[in-house]
Amino acid sequence: MLWLRRALLAGIALCLLFIIISLAAFHLVPIEIIEARLKEEAEARAGLTVTEQSLMRTYPAGIEAEGVDMALKGKEPFIHIDNMVAWPDYMGLLSGKVRFSYAGAIENGVIKGRAGFGLLGGSQIRLEADGVPISAVPAINRFVTGLRGSFSGTAEVSMKGDGRCPSGFAEFRSDDLKGGKVSLRGIPLSVGSIGDAGLDARFSECRVDVKGLWLDGSDLSLRIDGKIKVEKPLNKSPLDLTLELVPKKPLFRGESDVLAVLRRFQGSANYFKVPVRGTLGSPALGG
C-alpha cells in the first residue's frame, strides 16, 4: 500500500502547489483587470450590468465591493447592495468549475450563498436572503410605490452552457410590509395595510413558471401568475401573465383610462382578471 500513500501525498502536494500558484497570480494581477473580467462574465452569462463604488482584495484571496448596483442591460438598477464579499473554493477547479461563496449586507438585512461556473460553460447560483429591505430593490418600488418593510427567502438557479435556459426556483415571503400604492399606467391605487406578500416561481425548459406573486392588502389584493419565456437579453423575454385584482373598496373616483381597460376584464363587482403581455423590460397591461 506504499504506492497508494505516495500517490495520495503527491496529490495533496499538487493541490497545495496549485493553490499557492493561484494565490500568487491573484495578488499579481491588477485589480482593474479582475474587475473588468468579473463584469464581462456577469454580462455574458446573465445579461447583467454591475457597477460598484469601490473594489478591493481581501486576505487571502477574496474580493470586497462597496455600493454594488445590478441592472438588466440598458435598464435602471433592480437591487443595491451596501457591502459584498466573495471568496473562492479552489478545490472546485479540480472538477472543472470555478466556485465561490459570497455574503453581503443590505441595510439591516443580509444575503449569502454560493455560485459556480463551468470552465466549458454553464453556471449555478444560490441566494439566501434574510430581512432584506424593500428599499434595496428599486424594481419593486417602481411597481408598488412607497412600500416599506423587508423580505426573506431562497433562490437557486442553474444555467446550461449557452446561458439561456435556467432551471431552479425562487421562494420569498414577507409579513411586515407597510403602506404602498400599486401603479397601473401611472395611476396609484392604495393597497392599505398588508397582511401577506410573496413570490413562488419555478425555472425550467427556458421558461419561468410564476406560480404566484401576491400582495394581500386591506384596500386591494393582487396576484400575478403565468409564464415568462426566457430570451437573451433578459429584458426582451416575452410575458404571458395574468393579473388578478380584488378591490376591497372603490378603486377609482370617476372615469379613467385604467378603469376603461379593467372593465373589459371585469368578472364581478370586485374581481378583475387582466392579461399582461409585452416583455420583461416593457410589460403591457391588457394584452
Per residue in 178-216, pLDDT (tens digit) is 877 777 766 677 787 787 889 999 998 888 999 999 988
What local confidence, expressed as pLDDT, does residue 152 receive?
94
Q: What is the pLDDT of residue 144?
A: 77
d(CA 24, CA 27): 5
Residue 87 to residue 62: CA distance in whole angstroms = 4
| Residues in contact with 32: Cβ distance below 8 Å, sequence separation at least 6, in sequence order | none
**Cell matching residue 190:** 392604495
- Give the C-alpha separation, 214 to 174, whole Å: 10
> What is the structure's pLDDT at 137?
82
Positions of the chain with pLDDT lower than 70, given as ranges: 1-31, 33-35, 45-47, 60-61, 73-74, 90-97, 118-122, 161-164, 185-187, 251-261, 287
Say which amino acid occupies 255: E
What pLDDT was estimated at residue 6? 40
Q: Kind of pairing, strands 62-72 and 79-89?
A: antiparallel
| Rg of the chain taking only CA atoms, in angstroms | 23
Per-residue model confidence (pLDDT) at position 93: 58
Closest CA to 110 of 171, 52, 152: 152
Q: What is the pLDDT of residue 241?
A: 93
Return the DSSP state at 39. H
Closest Cα to residue 124, out of 134, 135, 114?
Answer: 114
pTM listed for this prediction: 0.75
pLDDT at 247: 84
Are 209 and 191 in contact by the 8 Å Cβ rule? The answer is no
CA 16 to each of CA 7, 91, 161, 216: distance values in angstroms, whole numbers, following the listed order: 14, 10, 30, 55
